[in-house]
């Protein structure tokens, strides 16, 4: 899980922040850089081709590990081709290779999520999610922060070549990873691969309520997080250097610790109690930013608020990912996980655009109080669905 988590996290920055830095360094205009953000569309639309990865089985390493290896080999090649391009002389070619990287990376996400769902036993899922998040976050540091430092010394071309070579970490995970103990037959046809996941899910009692829970559970956490950086800069007056050195590093470390702590506690608490306890902690953590808004610029309070918010967020993420895995039928796990995880983003996309208007109207302290309140409906719904959440997996 650590190796494939690293493999999943590495390509993301290479088509986003690191690529933006490369284009900025060679003088590409801001409008073009903005348009390049479209190469990330596959991450949003990955559910569209996920049925193909449920239906078809590569001739090596099984249905999940075979697809993982295929996507990783494409990523190594495409990142290497990005290194051979230049935003100054071959911008269109670079865009094509960057899109291939994003498409292969989104496809890898689909099959890794399915693999986690299939291979981890129910008692292992909290810990499995935790170490996956740790590998993912470390990879984001490598392809983001470390790549920035390396590019300043050896150039972007050699940095991207090094990142392509680093993808072999994921190949090791795919080749040596275990096969699921319980093997489900793939869908018999592409039609079943498309319709089967939906009919299987909606045949369950409380299916619509479960979908609403997925939208609402992380809503308060996402709502507060949408303006955290802006709050630290404009609301309480921290500098970019202070935010970069304290906030960013503390965010990554505390999220990893939170995921690890959440994963270990889940073994004792079980899925439902973990979701409830971690969800309450997520909601309460938003109040720490309200305290910071009242106190003004204070390093101890800022460190405490950021650490608490990301620690509880990491715990909540471990439990939430375990919930998504619990809801998937192994026969259709690639498609169902892709659809459910896309649905989880829906609440954030719909609600967070209102955050700026809310701050202008009520102020920062009231905004963070409202983000805490926005977490309550999800917790009530979780309590209502306790029996469904605690049901044996499909």
pLDDT for the residue numbered 115: 92
Looking at the fold, whether 127 and 91 belong to one and the same domain comes out as: yes
Tens-place pLDDT, residues 354-376: 777 888 888 888 888 998 998 89
Residue 238 covered by a domain: yes
The verdict on 105 and 231 lying in the same domain is: no
What is the predicted pLDDT for the residue at 393? 58
Q: Which residue is listed with tokens 């983001």? A: 144
Whether 15 and 99 share a structural domain: yes
* pLDDT tens-digit readout, 59-115: 888 889 999 999 999 999 999 999 988 888 888 898 999 999 999 999 999 999 899
Q: Are residues 131 and 232 in the same domain?
A: no
18, part of any domain: yes
Q: What is the pLDDT of residue 37?
A: 75
In a domain, 58, yes or no: yes
> Which pLDDT does position 277 carry in this prediction?
93
What predicted TM-score, i.e. pTM, was given to this entire model? 0.79
* Residue 171 reports pLDDT greater than 90: yes
Least confident of 3-17, 54-68, 219-233: 219-233
Is 185 within the bounds of a domain? no
Q: What's the pLDDT at 352?
A: 66
Integer Cα distance of 243 and 229 in angstroms: 8
Report the distance separating Cα 283 and Cα 315, nearest Å: 12
Q: What string of H, E and C letters represents the secondary structure of the chain?
A: CHHHHHHHHHHHHHCCHHHHHHHHHCCCCHHHHHHHHHHHHHHHHHHHCHHHHHHCCCCCCHHHHHHHHHHHHHHHHHHHHHHHCCCCCCHHHHHHHHHHHHHHHHHHHHHHHHHHHHHCCHHHHHHHHHHHHHHHHHHHHHHHHHHHHHHHHHHHHHHHHHHHHHCHHHHHHHHHCCCCCCCCCCCCCHHHHHHHHHHHHHCCCCHHHHHHHHHHCCHHHHHHHCCHHHHHHHHCCCCHHHHHHHHHHHHHHHHHHHHHHHHHHHHHHCHHHHHHHHHHHHHHHHHHHHHHHHHCCCHHHHHHHHHHHHHHHHHHHHHHHHHHHHHCCHHHHHHHHHHHHHHHHHHHHHHHHHHHHHHHHHCHHHHHHHHHHCCHHHHHHHHHCHHHHCCCCC
Q: Is 110 among the domain residues? A: yes
Across the range 253-279, mean pLDDT stands at: 85
pLDDT of residue 173: 92
- Are 156 and 200 members of one domain? no
- 216 and 257 both lie in a single domain: yes
Domain boundary among 150, 176, 202: 176
- What are the pLDDT digits (tens) for 308-366? 888 888 888 888 888 888 888 888 888 888 888 888 777 666 776 677 788 888 888 88
What does the angle CA 235 – CA 241 – CA 244 come to, to the nearest 5 degrees?
85
Tell me, yes or no, whether 215 and 135 share the same domain. no
**168 and 252 belong to one structural domain:** no
Q: Which of 119, 147, 176 corresponds to the end of one domain?
A: 176
Q: Are 285 and 342 members of one domain?
A: yes
Q: How far, in Å, CA of 152 to CA of 140, rounded?
A: 18
Rounded mean pLDDT, 197-207: 86
82 within a domain of the structure (yes/no): yes
Please report, for the domain that includes residue 334, its CATH number. 1.20.1250.20
24-28, 108-112, 157-161: range with lowest mean pLDDT: 24-28
Domain that holds residue 163: 2-176
Whether residues 113 and 244 fall in one domain: no
Number of domains in the chain: 2
Instruction: Say what the pLDDT of residue 107 is.
Output: 94
- Average pLDDT for the chain: 85
Tell me the pLDDT tens digit for each residue of 227-242: 776 787 778 887 766 6
Reply yes or no on whether the pLDDT at 394 is more than 60: no
In this model, does residue 124 exceed pLDDT 90? Answer: no
Residue 277 lies in a domain: yes
Q: Is residue 183 part of a domain?
A: no
pLDDT value at residue 233: 73
* Among candidate residues 116, 149, 176, the one where a domain is terminated: 176
My answer on whether 149 and 194 are in the same domain is no
123 CB contacts (<8 Å, ≥6 apart)?
Answer: 267
């Amino acid at each position: 899980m650590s190796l494939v988590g690293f493999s999943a996290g590495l390509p993301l920055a290479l088509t986003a922040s690191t690529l933006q830095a490369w284009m900025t360094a060679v003088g590409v205009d801001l409008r073009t850089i903005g348009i390049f953000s479209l190469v990330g569309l596959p991450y949003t639309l990955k559910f569209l081709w996920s049925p193909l990865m449920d239906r078809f089985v590569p001739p090596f390493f099984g249905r999940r590990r075979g697809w993982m290896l295929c996507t990783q080999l494409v990523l190594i090649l495409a990142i290497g081709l990005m290194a051979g391009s230049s935003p100054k002389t071959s911008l269109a070619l670079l865009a094509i290779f960057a899109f291939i990287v994003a498409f292969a990376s989104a496809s890898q996400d689909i099959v890794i999520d399915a693999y986690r769902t299939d291979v981890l036993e129910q008692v292992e899922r909290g810990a499995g999610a935790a170490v996956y998040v740790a590998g993912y976050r470390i990879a984001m540091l490598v392809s983001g922060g470390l790549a920035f430092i390396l590019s300043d010394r050896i150039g972007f071309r050699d940095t991207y070549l090094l990142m392509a070579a680093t993808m072999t970490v994921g190949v090791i995970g795919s080749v040596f990873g275990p096969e699921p103990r319980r093997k489900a037959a793939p869908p018999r046809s592409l039609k079943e691969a498309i319709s089967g996941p939906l009919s299987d899910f909606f045949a369950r009692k409380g299916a619509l309520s479960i979908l609403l829970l997925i939208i609402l559970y992380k809503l308060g956490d996402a709502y507060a997080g949408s303006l955290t950086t802006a709050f630290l800069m404009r609301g309480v007056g921290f500098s970019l250097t202070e935010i970069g050195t304290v906030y960013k590093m503390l965010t990554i470390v505390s999220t990893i610790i939170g995921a690890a702590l959440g994963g270990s506690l889940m073994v004792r608490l079980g899925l439902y109690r973990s979701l409830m306890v971690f969800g309450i902690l997520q909601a309460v953590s938003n109040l720490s930013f309200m305290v910071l808004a009242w106190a003004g610029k204070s390093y101890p309070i800022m460190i405490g608020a950021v650490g608490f918010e990301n620690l509880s967020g990491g715990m909540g993420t471990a439990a939430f990912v375990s919930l998504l895995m619990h809801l998937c039928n192994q026969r259709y796990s690639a498609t169902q996980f892709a659809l459910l995880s896309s649905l989880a983003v829906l609440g954030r996309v719909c609600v967070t655009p209102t955050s700026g208007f809310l701050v202008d109207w009520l102020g920062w302290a009231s905004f963070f109080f409202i983000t805490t309140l926005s977490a309550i409906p999800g917790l009530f719904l979780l309590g209502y669905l306790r029996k469904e959440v605690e049901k044996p997996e499909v």
